[in-house]
Amino acid sequence: MLKEMQDLHDLYVKVHATIHQMVDGLTDEQWVKKPADNFNNIASILEHTLLVERRFFAQLKGETADIDTRAPFLARSWDVAKIKAMWAENERLAKDAFERLTAEALNEPGAKLGVGEVNKRQLVAYAIAHTSHHRGQIPLVKKLLGI
């Protein structure tokens, strides 16, 4: 793995580790409980994050992924065990996607996002930033639930 990608992979793993700490010990009921009708729950936040990561990792490999990343926010029920399994799988998918990137590939088009077109280097950074953004929502949900 390129040094740059190893550094970014290390950061990705560290962000994931802090999320693991935030949800460690929560019951399935706490994962799916919404603090209010107009709020997301922990399950929907994490499932959304995982789906976005999967789409980005596919794009890093030059693949197209038809993934509805908004679905967790519209769902009425969530499979916590499935989300936890996806979490572990995403960590393997990230490593695989990052390992495949060559110095030349980092400059190739990565995706068209809300911020505009980004190359693959920028897509990796954006993936980590997106996960970090949603990471920040978890303490708020926990606080509102009194956890």
pLDDT tens for each residue of 69-78: 999 999 999 9
Q: List CB contacts of 25: < 8 A, sequence separation 6 or more.
A: none
Distances (CA, A) of 144 to 29, 30, 41, 44: 15, 11, 10, 16
Domains of the chain, residue spans: 3-145
Q: Which fold has domain 3-145?
A: Four Helix Bundle (Hemerythrin (Met), subunit A) (1.20.120)
- pLDDT confidence tier of residue 34, bands split at 50, 70 and 90: very high
Say what the pTM is: 0.95
